[in-house]
Amino acid sequence: MLVLLIIFMITAPMMTQGLDVDLPETTTKSLRQIEDPIVVSIDKDGKIMLDKIEVSRPLLQQQLAQSPKEKKQNPIYLKADRKVAYGLVVSIMADIKDSGFDKLGMITQPEVKQ
């Protein structure tokens, strides 16, 4: 079975809500944003937030799976602290995909030019 997951990068300060996350830096350009996007955040301690509400992985999957079909056509954004284990980030990405979202955006911090 071939699984296609579209991932794109979006840079902060687009969204800075509720969770202290030290974002990785990239040199990519910002993308156009949609109004009221869904944001999943993971802080350095592995705490998961769906928008501004703390959730467990099973609750995250349940909440995302219950999203209306038209909402699943929009991008969903993942904002993970640079210190979060890669395995957890990938697992959350898989949870998002399994919940019916195919457009996943990664929120990053613009690279600081020295």
CB-side neighbour CA atoms (13 Å) of 71 = 14
pLDDT digits (tens, 9 = 90+) for 17-61: 455 656 556 555 555 555 678 999 999 999 999 998 999 999 999
Instruction: Name the β-bridge partners of 101.
Output: none
Fold of 6-110: Nucleotidyltransferase; domain 5 (3.30.420)
Enumerate the domain spans of the chain. 6-110
Residue 113, pLDDT > 60, answer yes
Q: Is 71 exposed, middle or buried (0-12, 13-18, 19+ CB in 10 A)?
A: middle
The DSSP code sequence of 82-93 is TTS-HHHHHHHH
